[in-house]
Structure 1
């Protein structure tokens, strides 16, 4: 036996994989986490030969533990400082496709910040269970001076061996190890596996060293060695929620006596160092990992509990693009920066970004608690936005007349922008301008005698959307104020800046509307007509192309689970095409027109009892779409409301572009990805290939002369066919966490077979997406600008200007538009401003950042805001930049 096997060096890394919430709630799992770390501390103190234990590459577990065991902080810190417990670099183990690129950076930033409180942070990109991997992960890791990655899901036959170089689109690369036998390949090394007492659904993961002459162990060892680049092999002693093995030292010594190989307790660093010493010839791979040949990437999580994805997109936008940017401005103007509130909000969000959480593949209570965390983060963000606008407004010079109401509209985007803004106006009066007094409710302002004007005195049409009651001035005694809510079109707003408008008494002027007739609306870009079945005919005035049957709906049965879509054996597909719709023109103004389309699909209530087909009982699925055109806005915006009464189905909006294509083009984190429309056959794959894919804010089909982009808010799953049909998933409704009878996945255990009624998504749902026909290519049409603006609201507020700033102002600009701002915030460690941007196209771009005030120093930093090099300036306020294709840059501006 010894003669036929090559000697190998086996490095055993003890660890646990800690899903914070999943088939149990956070508190239930935390109860077990406390026991695990208690045991670990005892083992480390009793066995000095127990080399190291890895706490799953995340630091949130430290906070979770110490909230219960604060008395053990120094005890825990001792072993971390000595390197016997490895922590970080992540705060939580994230999904990579369902969160923003900026969120991944904040996850690593917070992971480092928490970890460094305890001494050492493990500088390896440990991502053992993420459901596939984005193409930009090597660059993100290198941005934290991490030059290695450990991954499992998503790797197919692209790399050939377990060690390879993984390159990001900008050329950044990391030495990567593919966990070909999983992250728990020796999750037990007990001599008698019959002593193992674990749930039956985990049993197939545990048996590794059994039988005569360690047969299974040698099979595992030979399998890894056959794929390895050297004779140094990585064995992972741990698994999902497994406690440390107290006799690991003893077992390792015993196994060493019976094997020709050398087993060494060690760390990921030990493994990497040994591989590098041997200087193997390694292949390179550039791109994302989405293959499900060897491990399932669980593709259906893109649309499971889609309401969570929508809440996440909204929360990220409020934090990244609104609250932080407004707070950064007010800080530059001399106010305090609310760092503590941002940290709390980001912690709430990042806890929801753990892969089993944001993927929507847990029990109902887990996801109920996620909704609460999202709402709390949104509440913090909205308070910061409100306070920030008020404090910026105080710096503006507005010498108004009695009865005039100044409104500041802030543009969070980096380019000039025209779009609609919604503003809530407090019922306050100015008996003497500059002195604010509360108005009793019975004396509320009525805006029916008012007109809205811009700085040039031009009349701006506005609409009173309603009113709402809010408490204000709480610290001085609660005052209930009845706010008026208005909306209007703000035209050509300055980049990352504001303009002041004013409501003033005066006669209203009416303009010509955008409606052609009761079913047709038109602006300078498009003409849109609703057909009798509710689908849309769109004329693109730029190309002359006419697109038909857009935004019709297709519904199919789903016999899958939270992880995967799986059609029933006897599938029935229903469509809204040909079904009479109720169509009404509900608004027709000089700046906006809206058509309302009401439809009802008769859908099966659920699957049959044997789950082989869709049942005979029908329920009404009411679908209401609001189709909006705005003057000066190159988008056809759609808000669709679905009253879901059906179970076990998938509902999608369909856009038959007629553009023949071999690829789809979709936004991903810090990049744009081209994916083939042809789906591999997938013979023998553990999870069948799927035509559905992830997106961030847009998906595109084009032929070089014309194209169609479908923009979305928090709807991350799409499909594109070779004939150019785009499917946008709105709902995927299933009733099980996991099932073992899917057509689309082998009986690979992904979790326990728990029923999950909440994943059926019964009730009312609202979706927002937009259609954007264009000329030539997506780069020439700058599709990303409309996608970002569609997701990022203009923000308005009544102000009480008494400062010196002009009534229109831009604080910062970036040129050209291909350099997309990802973050503007105060630096973590000093009084500097951080501007992070990335190049959204695959070519080098020359550009600049320009600040409204003089700069003393400009530094380029890594993603963790650590200095790399000083940058030159022009005129003490302009910073020239050269940015490679898809490169991310972080710039620190000091005043």
Structure 2
């Protein structure tokens, strides 16, 4: 015992203090068979025992207590873990928020805390491995890596017409090819299949060189779309076709499909894009425009973007906030400083080169990059490709955040309304191409002699997709581009009408139809997947139009032999004060002398839609003078200039006095130069009232809207988007809410509370605002640059108001909006008439499923593609029935 005691003090004695409260006796225990320990105590603090202060005389009466003295087994692993964690925390605190290494330390420490389980010592090893990975990086190895890629963003049309873009592409890409010849490691990215198609057509020699350098991996086609389209306004089917046409082009011409969607510049990003991308083979996404947000700074540079159905794509915003960098030191440092995911992502893109015909990258830019490839104090630079960038991001993506829903650009929200004729042309041509494909598919299935017009349809689709470029369909372009776009829409309408008539004739001939002759009934065509009962106007030369209520089956045709008698005819009555009351058994509508709607009431429930003391269908004007981007922007301060349009030119008068249709017409003066004429129409069996509107618009920097203050209270409104819908707040609680004072939607928007709501439908508008209980549709703007004549002239459009019980899903708001946009087509008698009353090609057992598209398959001439989507925002099952002679069905 004594020997062990002396060994302890001679070899392992250690002073213990409050700062160092343990002593190791491992050496003694290893040699001794038994052990006796003595503890010596001294009543001294770390700095003596002074009375009152450190240097005061000692206090002889000061007392201390020994609270614990015990033998423990020292856990070296836990101690090492604490040291790791301590050092990581210090690095976080001292390097600060702007240091890449500090953020890496923060996220490493956070992951260690998440991994550690105090009840499971085995988890400590996993935490230590995280720390080891961090500390094993030598000085400089954790430097941010910049992936430099040559780039030349060329707007397919903007401040120049389409034909000038062809020359811009040729000039810029020749420069890129010459740089590749001199610099074997230079990599150049190029999006937009349309531009490559133009160069192939007009500059075949240059195109051959492009294909050569593409095979070497230096000229890299990216994006997968026909053009860099606008991300909000095209329909879901149009977006699918952008990828279909683009991906097929890239695969045919360059032997590969793109895996990244490349959209550096656009005016917003629909929440449906991730699902569409995934369905088209795209798993990665690069853009930059959200750095232009006017109010809120978007919180991420690299993240997973999640769409409506949960589909995710790895998304990267180049932190340098530009797609036209010049390889200056500032560009490289900004790529590190502005990286909002420091510690989560250590790689970013630098897209360098002069865009829009400026020639793209230069030799000087490449020289700058060569000087700083691995320079102390700067991020590491490597010439790279999109695949290398995204592969590096994917390899270390476990800490990346996820953003769910739309990526809303807090700018350019006037572009939802500018150049109304372009918006109208887009919607109408999308509708026409849909109908042509439906009828052509039915004719292909029923008539062996019918040749599906695939080539002609491809041409028309490509014209439509071209006009969906992100400066064309928004209307943010010069007058020459507007004229080109309107010309292409007219070409689609003209050629499309011929294709539709040919398909109808072939379909009807197959069905044993005799040639039409005098007295034979007309035919009504329904291209939508549900039965419809609607009032239509029959052809004829009579001064008074002949109306008929017809029933047409889903995706089918019916003979119009005689009008169906409505269960409840429309009644129209004029009151003593000049107001007009119209009722169809579903709705009761009261219109005052100025065309304002004093009441829209659901007859069965007696539920009023219009807020008390207010009027619906109230036209309002605003001053519209944005800070800079005239055609693009509308600023929030325009809301302070609201002025009702109230001067009556012609008061309300009855046009149709009831039966199948009731309607009234009136006119208002907007200003000395502009006016509105409108017909309010209520048809038998129709759940909504329509507002057929004509505007003579001759304004400057004004904004025309129509308001419906509703007797509905809800914190959120719902808007149709591509293949679905989303909600946005009706309040301005936060800056993120307030920044959405003007938003976009497609065919409908809905404001509902439990059990009741009101939907606003339209046939060619995209701008909405819903603040508190007022549902507003944006109608016309009058910017003066870059097109001084934008929107001047005559406009015709229709919107509709649909009160409903239950949810908008239960009330068939979605179907009603389709009906408004896809009217029943009355086929001319010369196409023939069926011997049977009606015929249906397809029907669905669930109203939640929309059969959006029926078309011939691309590579199988004997096959049809049916594109369906779930529209209610849930899961659903349905049975699809068909009268076509089908052999097999594949999912």
**Match status 1:184 vs 2:343:** no
Matches for 1:434-833 after TM superposition, within 5 Å? 465=545, 488-502=547-561, 514-517=571-574, 519-536=580-597, 537-546=599-608, 547=610, 549-560=615-626, 561-566=630-635, 572-577=641-646, 581-601=650-670, 603=671, 619-679=672-732, 682=735, 689-722=739-772, 724-737=773-786, 756-759=787-790, 761-799=791-829, 806-830=836-860, 831-833=862-864
Change beyond 3 A, Cα 1:680–1:304: farther
Gaps of 5+ in 1: 190-208, 426-446, 449-462, 466-486, 604-618, 738-755, 861-895
Q: What's the offset of the Cα at 1:8?
A: 2.4
SS at structure 2 position matched to 1:256: coil
3-state SS in 1 of match to 2:310 = coil
Change (3 A) 1:563 1:139: same
1:3 Cα offset (Å): 7.2
The answer to whether the Cα contact below 8 Å between 1:59 and 1:114 also exists between their aligned partners in 2 is yes
Distance 2:175 2:247 in 1: 25
Please report how far the alpha carbon of residue 592 of structure 1 lies from its aligned counterpart in structure 2 after TM superposition. Answer: 1.2
Question: Is the CA contact (8 Å cut-off) linking 1:711 and 1:770 kept in structure 2?
Answer: yes
Query: In the alignment, does 2:198 pair up with 1:64?
Result: yes
Counterpart pick for 1:172 among 299, 307, 311 = 311
Structure 2 stretches of 5 or more lacking a match?
Answer: 1-98, 100-137
- Residue of 98, 103, 106 corresponding to 2:241: 106
Deviation at 1:22, TM superposition (A): 0.7
> Per the alignment, in what secondary structure is the counterpart of residue 696 of structure 2?
strand
Bigger RCO (CA 8 Å, 6+ sep): 1
CA distance in structure 2 between the aligned counterparts of 1:697 and 1:825, rounded to whole angstroms: 22
Report which of the two has the higher share of helix: 2
List aligned pairs for 1:210-249, cutoff 5 A.
Answer: 214=329, 217-224=332-339, 227=342, 229-238=344-353, 240-241=355-356, 242-247=358-363, 248-249=365-366
Distance in 1, Cα, partners of 2:397 & 2:337? 21
Q: CA RMSD in A?
A: 2.9
Q: Quickly say closer, same or farther: Cα 1:676–1:144, change in 2 above 3 A.
A: same
Structure 2 vs 1, CA of residues 592 and 128 (structure 1 numbering), >3 Å: closer, same or farther? same
Residue 226 (structure 2) aligns with: 91
- Determine the structure 2 residue equivalent to 1:428: none
- Alignment partners' CA distance in 2, 1:401 and 1:382: 19
Shift of 1:391: 1.8
Q: Which residue of 1 aligns with 2:146?
A: 10
Within 1, Cα distance between the matches of 2:745 and 2:873? 18
Tell whether the 8 Å contact from 1:161 to 1:228 is kept in structure 2 after alignment: no
Instruction: Give distance in 2, aligned partners of 1:177 and 1:216.
Output: 17
Identify the residue that residue 51 of structure 2 maps to in structure 1.
Answer: none
Kindly indicate whether the alpha-carbon contact (under 8 Å) linking 1:393 and 1:408 is maintained by their aligned counterparts in 2: no
- How big is the shift at 1:126? 1.5
Check 1:265–1:696 CA distance in 2 against 1; reply closer, same or farther (3 A cut): same
Deviates more, 1:175-184 or 1:148-157: 148-157
Q: 1:179, 1:215 → 2: CA distance? A: 14
Task: Give 3-state SS (helix, strand or coil) of 2:819's partner.
Answer: helix
Shift in Å, 1:838: 0.5
Deviation per residue, 1:165-224 (Å, 9 max, x gap): 211121211111123332426x212xxxxxxxxxxxxxxxxxxx2xxxx46643443333
How far apart, in 1, do the equivalents of 2:398 and 2:518 lie? 77
**1:326 match:** 439
Do the aligned partners of 2:147 and 2:389 also contact (CA within 8 Å) in 1? yes
Q: Deviations over 1:740-797 (max 9, x none)?
A: xxxxxxxxxxxxxxxx2122x2222112101101112111112101000010011122
CA distance in structure 1 between the partners assigned to 2:645 and 2:529 by the alignment: 40
Write the distance in 1 (CA, Å) between the matches of 2:675 and 2:831. Answer: 47
TM-score, normalised on structure 1?
Answer: 0.77
Change (3 A) 1:675 1:802: closer
Give yes or no for the alignment of 1:837 onto 2:886: no
Aligned to 2:754, what secondary structure does the other structure show? Answer: coil
Change (3 A) 1:673 1:291: same
Taking the aligned partners of 1:502 and 1:631, their CA distance within structure 2 comes to 18
Contact 1:667 1:696 in 2 (8 A): yes
Q: Indicate conservation of the 8 Å contact 1:397/1:806, yes or no.
A: no
Q: Hey, what's the Cα distance between the residues in 1 that align with 2:230 and 2:756?
A: 34
1:229 is paired with a residue whose SS is coil
Match of 1:290 among 408, 425, 443: 408
CA distance in 1, matches of 2:518, 2:139: 96
Compared CA separation, residues 313 and 819, structure 1 to 2 (3 A): same
Match of 1:133 in 2: 269
Determine the C-alpha separation between the residues in 1 that align with 2:656 and 2:582.
10
TM-score by length of 2: 0.77
**Corresponding residue SS for 1:13:** strand
Counterparts of 1:258-269 in structure 2, within 5 Å, are: 258-259=375-376, 261-269=379-387
1:379 is matched with which residue: 487, 490, 494? Answer: 494
Return the offset for 1:805.
7.0
1:228 Cα shift? 6.0
Residues 720/278 of structure 1: CA separation in 2 closer, same or farther (3 Å cut): closer
Question: Quick one: distance in 2 between partners of 1:244 and 1:735?
Answer: 30
Go from structure 1 to structure 2 and tell me whether the alpha carbon gap of 1:149 and 1:177 turns closer, same or farther (over 3 Å shift).
same
**Distance (whole Å) between structure 2 residues aligned to residue 565 and residue 571 of structure 1:** 12
Higher strand fraction (1 or 2): 1
CA contact (8 A) 2:354 2:360 kept: no
What is the match of residue 68 of structure 2?
A: none
How far did 1:401 drift?
A: 11
For 1:336 and 1:599, locate their aligned partners in 2 and report how far apart those are by CA, in whole Å: 51
Report the counterpart of residue 120 of structure 2 in structure 1.
Answer: none
Tell me how far 1:287 sits from its aligned partner. Answer: 0.4
1:277 to 386, 389, 395: 395
On the 8 A contact 2:520/2:833 being kept in 1, the answer is no
Aligned residues: 730
The offset of 1:36, in angstroms, is 1.0
Aligned to 1:873: none
How far has the Cα of 1:347 moved from its partner? 0.9
Output the CA distance in 1 between the equivalents of 2:387 and 2:454.
34
Report which of the two structures shows the higher radius of gyration computed on alpha carbons: 2
Q: Is the 8 A contact 1:710 1:772 kept in 2?
A: yes
One of 71, 75, 79 as aligned partner of 2:209:
75
